[in-house]
């Protein structure tokens, strides 16, 4: 069958408040043209993030009721730990309230002044947690990722040659090698199993531990099954186990590929490192069998992990992005190719060449999508990355708008509506105008800056 259907039925619904274009124009003015300042009830389709916004299944809601809130040794922890270990065979599994808490604990132990921590691409919270210890976070992404229009299947791959040179030259400064799967900051693009294993072997040859940021592990495993020669007949959980069997530890945000609204974990094989991690955990998160979460959260994660590797779900998940992308490409809309696991990226720089980078074509496009159809995406360009630590401003590498797909939340007709909105904006792209910053905070300006349209 060619029609994509959601492999689930809907039992509980949330109304969407419909707004008119006129209403949205007023909302934009009041929000200072910053989509982060718009109330959720004023959004029709919210594609701001895929983090913590998944719809839980009936079994997950049922699992909440089984939650055991015992302070120590809860049965919820037992179910959580077993569910993680079924997919990720690490010796120690340490729950945390979010992914960044796992990062903070790990880099308090492995980071420090003058240390170097290479990855394909560090996610922004990972980078911030590394840099907070005085260490340097290095991105060694393969060159294939620089070309938005190419269909290279594994744009999340690490550049192993650069990694090898770095390990040879600076090995004494490197405590561990990391990889993010899929590469969130780079468009949800996967790394191949061959690349992950090559990076692990290189790290181990230099006596370094290999840590995976596994936030979208199931999407990455699905891409391996679909795109990597020789992997097509394997079960997704088998591929997942092979990925994690070659690592010494992982950090995880359960708000991504665990279908949970909150949660995360740090997993490690090394006994001594795990003991030190648990000591820090008690200071900052909680006792090692709950780590900042309620027992019921641990149960929701445990159940979510058994659902996220379902191949019918993963096929639908990625197919929606491919479908949206195919329709956009057919209409000549510039996009990042191929489809990523959790988002579709529009290339605002290519769509709006008449708007200079520092008049924020990505922000202009994101604002236009909201005005046109009430669709909220996120600028990833010079608003997010342009302000420099010395106060100057510089154009970002690319001017993108990310449309992140919440898991199991929207349907095929919502996807059609999003496509229609994008096509309508694309049609009138030449009339779109840039923006200027009226006011901005000292750091992370994209969350709170106020803009005004250029006349
Ligand atoms: C979301 C995310 C994190 C951080 O997780 P939080 O739960 O938001 O703290 C780390 N790495 C990647 C790749 C992510 O997508």
User: Is residue 12 situated within a structural domain?
Assistant: no
Q: Kindly report, residue by residue over 117-136, the tens digit of the pLDDT.
A: 999 999 989 998 999 999 99
Residue 2 lies in a domain: no
Pocket test for ligand 1, best of 123, 265, 340 (most atoms within 8 A of CB): 123
Say how many Å lie between the CA of residue 253 and the centre of ligand 1. 5
Residues 284 and 419 in one domain: no
pTM as predicted:
0.95
Determine the atom of ligand 1 nearest the C-alpha atom of 185.
Answer: 13
Residue in 125, 181, 185 to alter for ligand 1 test, most ligand atoms within 8 A of Cβ: 125
Q: What is the CATH number of the domain that holds 171?
A: 3.40.640.10
Dist CA 295 CA 286 (whole Å): 12
363 and 278, same structural domain? no
Measured distance between the N- and C-terminal CA atoms of the chain, rounded to whole angstroms: 49
For residue 263, the ligand 1 atom closest to its alpha carbon is 7
Question: What is the band of 320 on the pLDDT scale with cuts at 50, 70, 90?
Answer: very high
Query: What range does the domain containing 315 cover?
Result: 21-50+310-453
Are residues 250 and 343 located together in one domain of the fold? no
For residue 151, the SS3 value is coil
The residue whose CA is least distant from atom 11 of ligand 1 is: 123
Q: Please enumerate in sequence order all residues whose Cβ is within 8 A of that of 382, keeping only pairs 6 or more positions apart, or say none.
A: 357, 358, 360, 362, 393, 394, 395, 396, 399
- d(C-alpha 269, C-alpha 248), whole Å: 6
Torsion of CA 30, 31, 37, 41, to 10 degrees: 60
Residues 342-362: tens digit of each pLDDT: 999 999 999 999 999 999 999
Record the tokens describing residue 74, joined without a space.
Answer: 């809860």
Residues 6+ apart with CB under 8 A from 418: 45, 47, 324, 373, 375, 403
pLDDT value at 149 more than 90? no
Cis peptide before 377 (omega within 30 of 0): no
What pLDDT band is residue 147 in, cutting at 50, 70 and 90? Answer: confident
Our count of domains for the chain comes to 2
Quick one: 36 and 183 in the same domain? no
Rounded Cα–Cα distance for residues 410 and 66 (Å): 28
Q: Counting atoms of ligand 1 from 1, which one is nearest the CA of 98?
A: 7
Residues shown for the chain: 455
Contact present, 173 and 108 (Cβ < 8 Å)? no
pLDDT tens sequence across 426-441: 999 999 999 999 999 8
Q: CATH number, domain at 419?
A: 3.90.1150.10
Q: Do 143 and 113 have their domain in common?
A: yes
Distance from the alpha carbon of residue 409 to the mean position of ligand 1, in angstroms: 20
> The tokens of 430 are what?
């030449």
> Does 15 fall in a domain?
no
Residue nearest to atom 8 of ligand 1 (CA): 99
Distance 5 CA to ligand 1 centre (A): 29
Do 224 and 75 fall into the same domain? yes
Contact indicator for 248, 214 with CB cutoff of 8 Å: no
- Residue 6 to residues 44, 142, 314, 391: CA-CA distances in angstroms? 20, 34, 11, 47
357 in the same domain as 264: no
Tell me, yes or no, whether 242 lies in a domain: yes
321 and 409: one domain?
yes
Q: Note whether 31 and 101 are same-domain residues.
A: no
**Residue 2 pLDDT class (50, 70, 90 cuts):** confident
Please return the burial class of 361, using the count of CB atoms within 10 Å of its CB with bins 0-12, 13-18 and 19+: buried
Name all residues whose Cβ lies below 6 A of ligand 1. Answer: 51, 98-100, 123, 125-126, 180, 184, 213, 215, 253, 255-256, 264
Tell me how far the alpha carbon of residue 33 is from its chain's centroid.
24
- In terms of domains, do 129 and 201 share one? yes
Query: 14 lies in a domain?
Result: no
Minimum CA distance residue for ligand 1 atom 1: 253
The atom of ligand 1 lying closest to the CA of 183 is: 13
Ligand 1 centroid distance, CA of 191 (Å): 17
Q: Whose CA is nearest to atom 3 of ligand 1?
A: 99
Ligand 1: which of 50, 53, 96, 100 to mutate, judged by most atoms within 8 Å of the beta carbon?
100
The residue among 151, 149, 141 whose CA lies nearest residue 182 is: 141
Q: In this structure, are strands 116-119 and 136-139 parallel, antiparallel, or unpaired?
A: parallel
Residue matched to tokens 């230099």: 206
User: End of a domain among 290, 308, 326?
Assistant: 308
At which of 308, 340, 358 does a domain end?
308
DSSP 433: -
> What percent of the chain shows pLDDT beyond 70?
100
| Residue 5 is assigned to a structural domain of this protein | no
The answer to whether residue 7 is domain-embedded is no
Give yes or no for a contact between 220 and 186, defined as CB atoms under 8 angstroms apart.
no
Residue where a domain terminates, one of 278, 308, 338: 308
228 and 355 fall within a common domain: no
3-state helix, strand, coil in the chain (%, to 5): 45, 15, 40
> Is residue 6 in some structural domain?
no
| Atom of ligand 1 at shortest range from CA of 102 | 9
259-277 pLDDT tens trace? 999 999 999 999 999 999 9
Are 301 and 441 in a shared domain?
no
Is residue 55 within 8 Å of residue 407, measured between CB atoms? yes
Of the candidates 408, 396, 248, the one whose C-alpha atom is nearest the C-alpha of residue 314 is: 408
């Amino acid at each position: 069958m060619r029609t994509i259907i959601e492999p689930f039925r809907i039992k509980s619904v949330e109304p969407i408040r419909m707004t008119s274009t006129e209403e949205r124009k007023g909302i934009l003015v009041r929000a200072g043209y910053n989509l982060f300042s718009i109330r959720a009830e004023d959004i029709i389709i919210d594609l701001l993030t895929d983090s913590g916004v998944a719809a839980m299944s009936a079994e997950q809601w049922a699992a909440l009721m089984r939650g055991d809130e015992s302070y120590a040794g809860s049965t919820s922890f037992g179910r959580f730990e077993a569910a993680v270990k079924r997919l990720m065979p690490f010796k120690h599994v340490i729950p945390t309230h979010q992914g960044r808490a796992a990062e903070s604990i790990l880099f308090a132990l492995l980071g420090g002044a003058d240390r170097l921590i290479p990855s394909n691409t560090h996610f922004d919270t990972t980078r911030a947690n590394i840099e907070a210890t005085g260490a340097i976070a290095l991105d060694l992404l393969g060159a294939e990722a620089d070309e938005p229009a190419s269909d290279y299947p594994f744009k999340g791959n690490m550049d192993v040659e650069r990694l090898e040179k770095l390990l040879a030259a600076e090995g004494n400064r490197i405590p561990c090698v990391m990889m993010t799967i899929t590469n969130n900051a780079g468009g949800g693009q996967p790394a191949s199993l061959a690349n992950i294993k090559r990076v692990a072997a290189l790290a181990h040859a230099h006596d370094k531990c290999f840590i995976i940021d596994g936030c979208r592990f199931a999407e990455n495993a699905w891409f391996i099954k679909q795109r990597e020669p020789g992997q097509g007949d394997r079960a997704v959980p088998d591929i997942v186990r092979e990925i994690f069997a070659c690592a010494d530890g992982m950090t995880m945000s359960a708000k991504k590929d665990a279908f949970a609204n909150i949660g995360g974990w740090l997993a490690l094989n090394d006994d001594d490192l795990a003991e030190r991690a648990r000591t820090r955990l008690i200071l900052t998160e909680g006792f090692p069998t709950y780590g900042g979460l309620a027992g019921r959260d641990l149960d929701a994660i445990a159940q979510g992990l058994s659902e996220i590797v379902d191949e019918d779900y993963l096929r639908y998940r990625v197919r929606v992005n491919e479908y949206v992308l195919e329709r956009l490409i057919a209409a000549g809309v510039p996009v990042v190719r191929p489809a990523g696991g959790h988002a579709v990226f529009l290339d605002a720089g290519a769509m709006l060449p008449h708007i200079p980078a520092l008049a924020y074509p990505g922000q202009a496009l994101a604002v236009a999508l909201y005005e046109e159809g009430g669709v909220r995406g996120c600028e990833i360009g010079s608003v997010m990355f342009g302000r420099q630590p010395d106060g100057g401003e510089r154009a970002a590498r690319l001017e993108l708008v990310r449309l992140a797909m919440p898991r199991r939340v929207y349907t095929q007709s919502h996807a059609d509506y999003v496509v229609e909105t994008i096509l309508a904006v694309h049609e009138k792209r030449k009339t779109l105008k840039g923006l200027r910053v009226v006011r901005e905070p000292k750091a992370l300006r994209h969350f709170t800056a106020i803009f005004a349209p250029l006349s």
